[in-house]
Structure 1
């Protein structure tokens, strides 16, 4: 499965979490998707880039570290001070109505705007 195909899978999980107003830990996301925790940041980047390009709230803000409840170091969708506001904006968006972007849209988003702050 390609990175963009995994991003489609993860998008669906995060859209469901947003609908239920829940965050999800990296460990939970690993368990649900089967993607290794260590590589999740690279799989979240296409979603983060897509949201940035399309002026959508940062859906990836819902993925948090179990120890701190904060997104990982690769998250660049909001400043630390704006995390709560960003999460509320994600919860207020109807992600299921938006639909799941196709892999080629994720690939184009990463090419246009690489967003992994850890790079």
Structure 2
């Protein structure tokens, strides 16, 4: 969630939904419109993004948003 936000990417965590409700859980706090953001994830050209390494994820986790 933090890595995507810091790098201007659609939030991949919007794809994780509750089993019965089909919506993201309460832990997804950076998204105001889950349906819109989910479509952004589907439409994004992910093949043009170089995969981050564990250091980049760690930096994103500790960064202040």
| Bin of the TM-score, shorter chain as denominator length | 0.7 to 0.9
TM-score, with normalisation over the residues of structure 1?
0.50
Question: Which residue matches 1:30?
Answer: none
Paired positions, count: 65
Paired residues of 1:50 and 1:110 also in contact (CA < 8 A): yes
What is the aligned counterpart of 1:78 among 31, 34, 37?
Answer: 31
Any unmatched runs of 5+ in structure 2? Answer: none
Provide the alpha-carbon RMSD of the alignment. Answer: 1.4
What is the aligned counterpart of 2:40 among 85, 89, 96?
Answer: 89
TM-score, with normalisation over the residues of structure 2?
0.87
User: Stretches of 4+ moved more than 6 A in 1?
Assistant: none
Following superposition, the deviation at residue 95 of structure 1 comes to 1.7
Any unmatched runs of 5+ in structure 1? Answer: 1-47, 115-119
